[in-house]
Structures are given as C-alpha cells and as structure tokens.
Amino acid sequence: MKRRDLFAASLAAGIMGSTRRGWAATPDAAAALGRTALHGTIPRIVPIRAHADQIMDIKVCLRPFRPAGPRMDVEHVAGKTVVHNYGHGGSGWSLSWGAAYMAVGHAAATLERKVAVIGCGIIGLTSALTAQRAGLDVTIYTRDLLPHTRSVRANGSWTPDSRIALTQQAGPEFARTWEKMARYSWQTYRDYLGMPGNPIDFRDNYTLSDTAPDAADHVPAPADAAKGSFATTGMPQNSAEFAEYASLISDIIPAPELLAGADNPFPVAYARRTPLMIYNFGSYGHLLLEEFHQAGGRIVIREFHSPSDLADLPERVVINCPGYAARDWWNDKSLIPVRGQTSWLPPQPDASYALEYKGAAMISKSDGVMIQGYDMSGLGEMDGVGNSFEHPDRAEAEKAIAIIGDLFTRFQPRAG
Amino acid sequence: MTRSFTLRTALLASVLSVFLLHTAHAASQSGNGHAVSFSAEQVAHGAQIYAGACAMCHGADLEGGHDVPDLSTYFTARWANTPIDQLAGYISRAMPLMAPGTLPPQDTAALVAFLLHQNGVVSATDAPLPMEEARLAKLRFPAPSASSAAATKP
Ligand SMILES: Cc1cc2nc3c(=O)[nH]c(=O)nc-3n(C[C@H](O)[C@H](O)[C@H](O)COP(=O)(O)OP(=O)(O)OC[C@H]3O[C@@H](n4cnc5c(N)ncnc54)[C@H](O)[C@@H]3O)c2cc1C
C-alpha cells in the first residue's frame, strides 16, 4: 500500500466519487458510511510499551524488487523446465498464493509428476504446497528453512502492491496479472483464518495524523524532473513511478473508516481505522511446514552455485523461488534491493491492534510487537531503494520506536 | 579497530607457522582435481580486507549469524568440491553485500585464500592463488576432513 498518501487514497476509495477534503468537511462522508460509532462502543486502546530497552530483535531485509514486476516466465536450462517465481518486492507474503497458483500451472502443464522447488521462503513454501494440492510430488531444495529466510524479516501484513513494479515498466498486462494473484491469495488466506494459534489474523489498523488528510504533508512530493526516471537513469527516481493497483480489488478489501471527534481514541487530530490482514510468522510458518510434510513433501538442504547445478536433480521440472538471491544465482541484474528494517518488542496480546504515525508502523502480533520506520525521511516509496546494507541499524530502530513511544506518552486512557 | 589489528597480527603469525609446519602434507588436503595453492601474503591481505569489509556481517571468526551465512564449518559443507571460480565469482559479483562488484580481482583472490586458510586448507606450494577464472575453474574447494575442521579454531 502506498503508505505516504494513505489518507488521501483511502478517502478517495472509501467515499465514492468525492474529491479530497479536509477533515472538518467530512460529516457527509461519515454519513455516507453511516457508521459513526454508537455511544459506548469506542474501542478501549491499551497503550503499547514502545521503549528501546524492550528490543528483542532487529531484522533487516532486502525486498526483491523488479521494475517490470516479478519474474514468472518459463525457461529451459540444464535439461530442465525452469518456472521462475521470484522478485515480489514488498508484496511477497500478500501475493504468495496467487503467484504460486500461476507458477504451478506452468509446471502442471508439463505433465511431469515430480517437481523440484528451489527456496523455502514464503514463495517457495506456498509454491510447494500449491503443487502438492495439484497432485504433484514435491521436493524442496533450499539453503535455508523459513525462519532463516528474508521472508520472516518482513512486516507481515496485507500489502499487495507495495513496491511490486513500476507502472510504466510493468505495463497494463501486469495490472491484470496482479489482480488475479491478489484475488487468489486473499481467498486462500481466508482458509487460514480462525485457526488455533491464529496463523492469519486481522488487526484494526489506525492511520494517525496531526494534520488534515489533504494537508501538504500527505500529498506525495512532486516528481523532480531534474532527477529523471527509471527510463532515463536505470533506477527509479520518485515515488510516482511505483505502481498502484489496490483500487482493482477494492470490492473485496475492507474499506477505511473515518474516526470523527469522540470516536478517535488517540491524541492526534485525525484518525482512520482499517481492518488489516496480518501474518503471524511463527504459527503460520510451522503450520505450512507441517502441511507440506503431511502431504509427503521432502526437503533437501542444498545450495546451488550455478544454474548448471540443476542438471543433477532427479526432477525435470523446477520452480525457482530464490527471492533476492536470484540477483546472483540466476544473474538477474534487474533485481533492485529495497532495504527495510523491523524491530521486535515482547508480545502484547492485551493490545491487539496496529497503527501508523509519522512514517512508523506498529503491528501487535502473536510473536511480538513489530515496529518499522517505513518512511521517516519523507522519501515515500523511494525509502531504501538501491540500498543493500542488510545490517541492523540500531539508531534507526530507536527512532521508529520513539515515534510510537512519544504518541503514548501523550495518550489518555479512557476511563471505565 | 584495535580488535582488527590484533586479529591481523595473530593471523599473520598463524599463517606463517602453518606454512612452516604443514607444507609437507599439503597435497593430501587438496581434494580431487589440481592441488590448491595460495600464498601467505594473500592470506594476510585477505584477512585485512575481511576485517574491514566482511566481518561486520559474517563475524570476526567467520561464524555468521541467524540471518547471515557463516563462512566456516557449514560453509565448507556447502562449497565442498565446487570449482573455486564459482566461489571467487560469487564474491566478486555479490559481496560485500552493500557494494557488490567493487572488489578488484587481487582482493577477491586474497579473500578466497583467506577463507581456504581459515577453514583448514593447507596450501600445496607457496604459489599464489591465480586470479584468472579459467585457472580457478580447474581447482575445487577441498572437502573438509575431520582433522582439518578441528584444527581451524583460531
Ligand atoms: C522490511 C520488509 C517488510 C516487508 N513487509 C511485507 C509485508 O508486510 N507484506 C508482504 O506481502 N511482503 C512484505 N515484504 C516483502 C516480502 O518479505 C518478500 O517479497 C518475500 O519475503 C520474498 O520471499 P521469497 O520466498 O521470494 O524470498 P526469500 O524469503 O528470500 O527466500 C528465498 C529462499 O531461497 C533460498 N535460496 C536462495 N538462493 C539459493 C541458492 N543459491 N541455493 C539454494 N537455496 C537458495 C533461500 O535459502 C530461501 O529459502 C517485506 C519485505 C521487507 C524487507
């Protein structure tokens, strides 16, 4: 999701046809939604204990971003049919089931019964399960199992069009592919809702701001023509180049609600609430692995050093899911690293919600309170682009935690 | 930086002693294919680059971490019997992760020599490890032997 202009975008999406308006001018919007909270139903918010001395882990990751969108074509290499499934940018978790469905379709069309899956990140694991569900015999070959992959260094929520492609380089055809993937994934995830351990869950996500939704700081920075664009420089240069597809599926994704005046429990002037799908990595990861083994799947720990290494696999069909590592392993220089970092504080099951404020996001999950500074410098989608310094930055973590911490020092818990 | 200095000095000392003591049964360590050779200077130079450009992620003792591969015991298992040009190629294309493609060939060769040495591989002769891909392609990363694994602890 385009975080920076979330207010503006969700206003446009939530209120059909209305132009962007200031908060004061939205009683008609609230009326259109018909859902101002009934007296006494405003949720009680338990404060998040966001303090740097509570950090239990800092995770850093490189989003595997390709300007043209994920690589999903079929190639013949080393005597194998190789179906690629990598380069899902900041949307790998969200799109995983839909991407797997497409990749496995190519594999199934070969009529081979045995397939190899390379990689055990979220893309490899869902590809392997989807192949099993299509009746195939699956072996995963991977250097690492899920807990050590870049996948578990994500934020872990439904963000299906986060740095997934550049509009121009991906073209209109990819928008249709994206829509199919997003819909298929969303529906598959519903199958995991309400299970023991809540592998997949929802949180109320509060988008907070001190300034009005149409204030200058919510408007994406105008493109600086002097910087050029991906077409002229080979690197994305401004936020506006990144594709936005969310409106294609607004019919099935819960819309944001304005929280007017007394409905807003936070010490900020403006708040919106959106139900957000989240992934609890621990319980979900173990569940997927269990399903894979129960269906007779095999895992071989192995690292490939060159595409010619594929020659000695017994399987003739390979689904290739190496994530960012494809930059070297498959010599795909179109992969651009987009660095991101999350910090993890002890779980707070009493405070199960999420929020975004001043470029920092917090999600209270079963395996910890996740805090991520996703845009603390006003760079929008350009934050982290081209940065492959995959090493924890404690100062950045503390800055993000301080934003959330500061919010709660001003917080007045509701009486009763 | 005192730490890397001590590391360097200690390494240089251990490199030299290894050369003095072990040249005799070097050939047995080199696995299939041609025997692997690298020079003490390469190992020392590699140690210096490693301390400055690699240790922050892969660890001062090559131990790696939860989210970074080690370059030690597990590493030797992952690369055993792999042509060495692939390892040199990987390092020169992909590392250091934040600035891939910036290492000059002699630094890459020195890093490979350093990694081999730290993992208990004993050089067959004092000839330096070549930089040319075609020559490296004839050498294979030696499979670890139980005794060399035990002997690597600095
Ligand atoms: C900070 C951050 C936040 C994010 N937040 C979200 C979010 O909220 N929602 C969302 O949908 N997405 C999010 N993403 C994006 C998402 O994490 C990625 O798109 C996704 O993890 C990619 O998964 P993957 O399986 O392709 O790659 P990886 O997780 O990197 O897995 C690759 C697998 O391949 C194996 N492998 C690689 N090379 C080799 C080789 N040579 N030989 C053998 N095995 C190999 C690895 O061991 C690993 O098992 C976020 C990313 C970051 C960095």
Distance B114 CA to ligand 1 centre (A): 30
The predicted-structure confidence for A101-120, as pLDDT tens digits, reads as follows 999 999 999 999 999 999 99
Q: Confirm or reject: Cβ of A86 under 6 Å from ligand 1.
A: yes
In a domain, B7, yes or no: no
Residue A254 in this model has a pLDDT that exceeds 60? yes
Per-residue confidence band for A35, with pLDDT thresholds at 50, 70 and 90: low
Q: pLDDT tens for residues A309-320? A: 999 999 999 999
| Close Cβ partners of B128 (under 8 Å, ≥ 6 residues apart) | B37, B38, B39, B41, B42, B109, B113
Chain A: residues touching B (Cβ < 8 Å): 59-60, 143, 148, 153, 303, 305-306, 327-328, 387-391
A343, β-bridge pairs: A58, A371
Q: What is d(CA B8, CA B133) in angstroms, rounded to the nearest whole number?
A: 28
**Is residue B46 situated within a structural domain?**
yes
Using alpha carbons, list the distances in angstroms from residue A153 to A57, A146, A259, B46, B100.
10, 10, 32, 31, 21
Q: CB of B140 within 8 A of CB of B81? A: yes
Mutation for B interface: A146, A312, A328, most B CBs within 10 A: A328
* Contact of A375 with A4, CB cutoff 8 Å: yes
Q: Band the pLDDT of A213: cuts 50, 70, 90.
A: confident
Q: Is residue B5 part of a domain?
A: no
Do the bridges between strand A74-77 and strand A200-209 make them parallel or antiparallel, or are there none, so unpaired? Answer: unpaired
Per-residue pLDDT tens for B35-44? 899 999 999 9
Flag whether B25 is in a domain: no
Give the closest residue (by CA) to ligand 1 atom 15: A90
Which one-letter amino acid corresponds to residue A76? H
Dist. CA A157–CA A402, nearest whole Å: 22
Q: What is the structure's pLDDT at A214?
A: 77
| Residue A27 CA from chain centroid, whole number | 32
Phi/psi at A35 (5° precision): -140, 45
DSSP B122: P
Q: What angle do CA A392, A395, A397 make, to 5 degrees?
A: 65
Say what the pLDDT of residue B11 is. 46
What are the structure tokens assigned to A364, written together?
Answer: 């209270």
Q: Tell me if B87 is assigned to some domain.
A: yes
Q: How confident is the model at residue B19 (pLDDT cuts 50, 70, 90)?
A: very low
Is the separation of the CB atoms in A62 and A390 below 8 Å? Answer: yes
- The long-range contacts involving A11-14, CB below 8 angstroms and separated by at least 24 positions, are A11/A213, A13/A246, A13/A247, A13/A250, A13/A255, A13/A256, A14/A255, A14/A256, A14/A257, A14/A258
Identify whether B4 is part of a domain: no
User: Could you tell me the distance, in angstroms and rounded to a whole number, from the CA of residue A88 to the centre of ligand 1?
Assistant: 8
Residue A343 beta carbon below 6 angstroms from any ligand 1 atom: no
Amino acid identity at B102: T
Nearest to A277 by CA among A340, A194, A384: A194
**Are the beta carbons of A160 and A319 closer than 8 angstroms?**
no
Q: Of residues B31 and A379, which shows the higher confidence score?
A: A379
Rounded Cα distance between B116 and B118, Å, is 6
**B92 contacts B105 by C-beta, under 8 angstroms:** yes
Token pair for residue B66? 């939860």
Structure tokens at B55: 């240790």
- Beta-strand (E) ranges in A47-199? 57-65, 74-77, 80-84, 114-118, 137-142
Q: Domain with B101 in it: what CATH number? A: 1.10.760.10
φ and ψ at residue B21, rounded to 5 degrees? -85, -35
Nearest to B98 among A148, A327, A389 (CB): A389
Cα(A123) to centroid of ligand 1, in Å? Answer: 7
Ligand 1 and A92: CB distance under 6 A: yes
pLDDT above 90 (res A36)? no
Which pLDDT band holds residue A44 (cuts at 50, 70, 90)?
confident
Write down the pLDDT at residue A58.
98
Q: What is the mean pLDDT of residues A150-166?
A: 98
The mean of the pLDDT values for chain B is 82
pLDDT digits (tens, 9 = 90+) for B67-119: 999 999 999 999 999 999 999 999 999 999 999 999 999 999 999 999 999 99
Adjacency order of strands within the sheet including A57-65: A57-65, A336-345, A368-373, A360-365, A353-357, A200-209, A270-279, A257-258
Q: Name, in order, each residue with C-beta under 8 angstroms of B83's C-beta and a sequence gap of 6 or more.
A: B136, B137, B138, B139, B140, B141
Query: Would you say residue B9 lies in a domain?
Result: no
Q: Is B20 inside any structural domain?
A: no
* Structural domain containing residue B113: 34-152
B2 backbone dihedrals φ, ψ, rounded to 5°: -60, -35
Mean pLDDT across chain A: 91
- Position A260 scores a pLDDT of 80
Token pair of B21 as six digits: 């003591």
Domains contained in chain B, number: 1
Q: Is B25 on the interface with A (CB under 8 A)?
A: no
pTM: 0.90
CA distance A124 to A372: 25
Predicted pLDDT at A217: 75
Q: Rounded mean pLDDT of B48-72?
A: 98
